Amino acid sequence: MLIRIYLNALLVSLLLIGVCRPLVGQNTDSTTAKPVAQSIPDTLLFKIQKAQSVITQIKAADKKKYGITRVRAGLATVKTTIAPVAADVRTHGKTIDSKNLSNYSLILNDALKQLTDWRTLLSRSSNDLQGNLDQVLALSTDSLLTVASTDSTDKKLYADQLAGLKGQLQDAGTRTSARLDTVSRLLADVSGTYLTISNLQTAINERLDKSTENAFRKESPYLWEAPSTVAVSNLPERLLASYRGQAKIVNYFFASTWDNRLLLLLLTGTFFVWVLANYRKARTPSLRPTVGSLQLDNLKPVPVAASLLVLLNLPPLFEPQSPSVYIEITQFLLFLVIVVHLWERFSLHEMRLWLVIGAMYIVLIIANSLVDDSLFMRLGLLVLNAGFMYIGIAFARRLPRQHVSARIVRMVTLLYLLLQGLAIVFNIIGRISLAKTVGITAVISLVQLAGLGLFIEVVLEALELQINISACSQGLFSRVNVSHVRRSFKKGLAFIAVALWLIVFFINLGVADEVYNLVSHLLTRPRSFGSISFTLSNVLSFSVVLYLSSLLQKNIGLLFGESSFSTADEQVGQLSSVLALVRLVILIAGILLAIAASGISIDKFTVVLGALSVGIGLGMQNIVSNFVSGIILIFEKPFQIGDYVELADKKGRIRDIGIRSSRMITAQGSEVIIPNGDLLSNRLVNWTSSDVYLKTEITLKVSSDTDLQRVQEIMTSEVSQVDGAIKNRPPEIVVTTIGGDSVELKVQVWISSIYAEVNLKSQLLQRLLPAFREAAIKLM
């Protein structure tokens, strides 16, 4: 290729020099000129235009640089990235564990993909440059663009233009040849790097296959057969090579998953702002007297440590395919944050214990990079594992586990001891890689348990702070069952904590991909039930969507001011029936989304609808009737949420208008569930219709010689001083029965609300009794 390029460049130069030379020495004698009448061929102008087009095309291509600068810089980066990986593979050989080999394989795959793209780009650029060079050569050797002494006078008129064009062609050919040489050399470099990385990838894949096949086979001599020599001079080099390789893994992971990390940072920032804002609200003059002093163990007015605990506990949830070295780093940082956070609570013994655990953790990570077949190295790792077994028991007893059950701590502790024991056994029988893997997994599992325990405490305290602020400011938590919210929130946090612990555990064991593939296979494998095909993921999606839509429609009323509990002095909120319509829309949308998520086709769905219609005709008439009645109640609005109604023998306040049934709260506080069909078909009395005054009745029996006018005056005076009575409407007294020595009176008092009836009667009777005694009116 290079020889051909040089020959093409030389040929262009010789041809251009030979063509231009006749132009300089051409004869201008009029005796040798052709007749003037001979016209210039049309092809000359076409050739001139084509040559000018080629020159313009080459200049435009030169401005793009053919991506040479970008490819050259990227190739240098790839070489820098791959060099530590190759050095680590050469230095450690077979002692590299499968987790690091998998991470190295990911880096190499990404590099091979980039090199493939660059090879395609450079090959295309080389073809374009070669095509341009061929056009320059063809135009340079075209006799039509050459002016000889025997040419016609008309063609000589273009001598200067053709001479300039020849010079431009020569310059374009020289630049194209140089650029083609650069592209060819860079393409050769890219291809060589691709071959090197491909060989390295093949070697790593072979080791991965062997490590999978020989997972529990001996890879090193038994401990009593191990060589006693230690190559001390190679230790710094091996440690440096391991560090560089691990650094490349982390850098590659950071570069490829930055978006997940951004989401994690946004979530942590939201938590920080949430807690900070609530602390500031609690200190405002309007809330400080009711909130009182905040006694929180893990939250501060500026929750830096609490936010770091959230940040360092959640990475596996956002990045489930993290490399093990990333998990080791985050767990060590989490360990440091825990120590700083609990420093003031530590006793002297606990402080020493945590510091020893941290120091041993660092030593274990370094040992995993250095330990090989040497007897002394393996004995050191064995002693380290034994030390972890001894100190881990004391560490587990002092874990911050206010919200972590003793059963979970006991299970993790037993697993920790089992893994450390396996690490010792694997070391003795020559399975060093497995010994390193299970040893570091055991330590991280115990440290993570401590971090997750504090994580649950921090989030629950943040929730408790929000509950206090909201309850004191008549917010959302003043209308819900707080104890139920606490229980549900704690269950959700416990589920997240278990998921985080399992993800980290599988990553450290190096089986995260296998577990993920197994779960994915179970969920996505097609299954059939009769003529219907489905997958477990479809069933799971269907169930989750239905559950979430049901949960949302049940609790959407809280956003409209609806309360989940009732009290005797609760003020009734006149909620619009639009709330029931919103619930209906949510429920229908949830059903449609669930069907879409299930993957059921439309034709099969119509079959289900047909079967459902048969079921409605056979035994679901009442359900459908109540459902349709609920829709009619929404649009007709015979009553609203909060209205006081009377239905048959029940009186109470409408608390909720549902899709199938509605709920009524009686004066005694009991909840009555009434089907919507009964509300629509039976006689219903609404005591709280707008613009209607209500009357309450009190029956009195007085002596027959009582002055009824005096009774009217006392009654009017006392009613005007009772809360809930309408002041501009005096009470009405009606004589209902006359006896031998008594008169029965019915007193009708106008009231503003049905909810004030009981309290008004009580106050009025308490005021009437002393007033009648003072006026000497005898009650019978």
Query: Average pLDDT of 114-135?
Result: 80
Give the H or E element holding residue 748. strand 742-751
Query: Average pLDDT of 146-150?
Result: 60
Helix, strand, or coil (residue 778):
coil
Q: Is the pLDDT of residue 279 over 60?
A: yes
Task: Give the residue with greater pLDDT, 696 vs 93.
Answer: 696
Q: What is the pLDDT of residue 5?
A: 47
Q: Is the pLDDT of residue 452 over 60?
A: yes
Query: Average pLDDT of 130-145?
Result: 69
Q: pLDDT tens for residues 381-433?
A: 888 888 888 888 877 777 666 666 677 778 888 888 898 888 888 888 888 87
Residue 479 is given by DSSP the state: S
**Can you spell out the DSSP letters for 671-728?**
EEEEEHHHHHHS-EEETT-TT--EEEEEEEEEETT--HHHHHHHHHHHHTTSTTB-TT
Of 91-100, 257-266, 665-674, the one with minimum mean pLDDT is 91-100
Q: Is the pLDDT of residue 39 over 60?
A: no
Task: Give the residue with greater pLDDT, 514 vs 149.
Answer: 514
Burial status of residue 140 (CB atoms within 10 A of its CB: 0-12, 13-18, 19 or more): buried
As beta bridge partners, residue 750 has 695
The amino acid at 475: G
Q: What is the pLDDT of residue 14?
A: 45
Q: Is the pLDDT of residue 167 over 50?
A: yes
Domain ranges in the chain are 2-213, 232-520, 525-686, 694-774
* pLDDT bucket at 598, cuts 50 / 70 / 90: confident
Q: Is the pLDDT of residue 541 over 50?
A: yes
Among candidates 639, 681, 685, which has minimal Cα distance to 663?
639
The Cα–Cα gap between 45 and 155 comes to: 10
Task: Give the residue with greater pLDDT, 773 vs 42.
Answer: 773
Query: Average pLDDT of 274-301?
Result: 81
Query: Average pLDDT of 520-530?
Result: 80
SS3 per-residue string spanning 81-144: HHHHHHHHHHHHHHHCCHHHHHHHHHHHHHHHHHHHHHHHHHHHHHHHHHHHHHHHHHHHCCHH
Enumerate residues 6+ apart whose C-beta is below 8 A from 205: 105
Q: What is the pLDDT of residue 16?
A: 43
* % of the chain with per-residue pLDDT over 70: 72
Q: What is the pLDDT of residue 307?
A: 92
CATH of domain 694-774: 3.30.70.100
Query: Average pLDDT of 681-709?
Result: 73
Q: What is the pLDDT of residue 400?
A: 62
Task: Give the residue with greater pLDDT, 223 vs 531.
Answer: 223
The Cα–Cα gap between 718 and 720 comes to: 5
The Cα–Cα gap between 223 and 215 comes to: 18
The per-residue pLDDT of the chain, averaged, comes to: 75
Q: Is the pLDDT of residue 554 over 70?
A: yes
Task: Give the residue with greater pLDDT, 556 vs 31.
Answer: 556
Residue 366 is given by DSSP the state: H
Q: What is the pLDDT of residue 18?
A: 45
* pLDDT bucket at 64, cuts 50 / 70 / 90: low
Radius of gyration of the chain (CA): 44
Q: Is the pLDDT of residue 22 over 90?
A: no
Dihedral angle of Cα 205, 209, 215, 219, to the nearest 10 degrees:
-70
* pLDDT bucket at 228, cuts 50 / 70 / 90: confident
Task: Give the residue with greater pLDDT, 645 vs 40.
Answer: 645
Q: Is the pLDDT of residue 220 over 60?
A: yes
* pLDDT bucket at 273, cuts 50 / 70 / 90: very high
Q: Is the pLDDT of residue 266 over 90?
A: yes
The Cα–Cα gap between 755 and 653 comes to: 9
Among candidates 772, 748, 780, which has minimal Cα distance to 761?
748
Number of Cβ within a 10 Å radius of residue 313: 26
Within its chain, how far is the Cα of 674 from the centroid?
42
The amino acid at 423: A
Task: Give the residue with greater pLDDT, 133 vs 269.
Answer: 269
Q: What is the pLDDT of residue 557?
A: 66
